[in-house]
Amino acid sequence: LLLDYSGVWRYRELILPAPEPYVIARPEGNTNLYPVGMENCPTGRVGHRQIGTYAGLDLFFLKHEGENPSGSFKDRGMTVGVTMANLLGATAVACASTGNTSASLASYAAQAGMKGIVFLPAGNVASGKLAQTLAYGATTVQIKGDFDAAMSLVEQVCNELGIYLLNSLNPFRIEGQKAIAFEILQQLDWQAPDWLILPAGNLGNISAIGKAFRQAYDLCLITQMPRIAAIQAAGANPFYRSYRQQFARRESVKADTVATAIKIGNPVSYARARRIIEVTDGIVAEVTDAEILAAKAMIDRAGIGCEPASAATLAGAHKLVAEGVIKRDERVVGILTGNLLKDSVTGIPQQGSGIIVEANLDAVRKVLAV
């Protein structure tokens, strides 16, 4: 069965028991869980171990969701969302996006033969994501406004025009993204980690992962609930602001960060995410753009690589361990949400095209200084 090859549909009893002929899958998931801690990193992997050293963790794993078919974790929700659209007989699907959801929607809509329509904040989407969205043939509408404006617009458009909405407001997207957590648990032989760290923007993913852990716990698949640490960029930190005041009120900000994927000022899944932080005894933290870029450089130079928003995970681990919130010997899983190639500009060092030399040995010798 195709379904058994998918890291989402393998768990279909806990997600959506859809009949196989209706399922739109590439298939997705089966992403690597890299052991990168100071203790659990294999001896040969010097570069990888530097990540654990930077975080200050003995038992640290990175789940690379950038290894999904379209290069981000969004594929896990999109396969379920587009399958549901297919079951409902929808002919058009739409979303607002900072780039990854749109790339994923465009891919799955194309596969299903549906019209894909995406609303992007003009000038604020990394080039790799825009290229994918256009290549897969989605109708691409660039809004003169930020993500939050695009988000409220797409809700209106879908309501008025009867188009199937595939933002994470859609519960089937959340159901699919639960598979990230199930797959992590399976890779860890159902020994739940102490902490799960992830970047937080529109707050769909934290809602999905929290729900999955809760389900796994209720089904006695795990005996301990992981604590969740949601990391926001300091310039796009409405969830952190609410958390800081014990969620006394919902906050919104005018977002600004180099991590365009999470440049979101008014997250739609606030209520669900707040509940997850409460029931998992979780925390919310913020990291600066400089901390995000330093962490990204660390992940890139280890040979793993990720997009800027994903690096908030390592920046958060580094900060929370330094503050003593996460203990050095706790088992920690961090999620890398998107692929390095999504954004080939932000935080990529030095000369864009490497060193340019004449095609002879002497010239090469000179630049290599050997």
Interacting residues toward ligand F0G by CB under 6 A: 72, 74, 97-101, 168, 199-205, 261-262, 307, 309-310, 337-338
> Closest separation between CB of residue 323 and ligand F0G, Å?
22
Q: Distance between CA atoms of 364 and 181, rounded to whole angstroms?
A: 48
> Closest separation between CB of residue 72 and ligand F0G, Å?
5
- Whichever of 66 and 193 has its CB closer to ligand F0G, that residue is 66
- Whichever of 86 and 310 has its CB closer to ligand F0G, that residue is 310
- Whichever of 27 and 99 has its CB closer to ligand F0G, that residue is 99
> Closest separation between CB of residue 204 and ligand F0G, Å?
4
> Closest separation between CB of residue 268 and ligand F0G, Å?
9
> Closest separation between CB of residue 337 and ligand F0G, Å?
3
> Closest separation between CB of residue 354 and ligand F0G, Å?
26
Across the beta sheet with 115-121, what order do the strands follow?
A: 139-143, 115-121, 92-96, 164-165
- Whichever of 284 and 326 has its CB closer to ligand F0G, that residue is 284
- Whichever of 59 and 62 has its CB closer to ligand F0G, that residue is 62
Which residues are 309's β-sheet partners?
none
> Closest separation between CB of residue 238 and ligand F0G, Å?
11
- 3-state SS of the chain is CHHHHCCCHHHHHHCCCCCHHHCCCCCCCCCCEEECCCCCCCCCCHHHHHHHHHHCCCEEEEEEHHHCCCCECHHHHHHHHHHHHHHCCCCEEEEECCCHHHHHHHHHHHHHCCEEEEEEECCCCCHHHHHHHHHCCCEEEEECCCHHHHHHHHHHHHHHHCCEECCCCCHHHHHHHHHHHHHHHHHCCCCCCCEEEEECCCCHHHHHHHHHHHHHHHCCCCCCCCEEEEEEECCCCHHHHHHHCCCCCCCCCCCCCCCHHHCCCCCCCHHHHHHHHHHCCCEEEEECHHHHHHHHHHHHHCCCCCCHHHHHHHHHHHHHHHCCCCCCCCEEEEEECECHHHCCCCCCCCCCCCCCCCCCHHHHHHHHCC
> Closest separation between CB of residue 181 and ligand F0G, Å?
13
- Whichever of 7 and 99 has its CB closer to ligand F0G, that residue is 99
Contact 338, 66 (CB under 8 A): yes
- Whichever of 7 and 338 has its CB closer to ligand F0G, that residue is 338
- Whichever of 150 and 320 has its CB closer to ligand F0G, that residue is 150
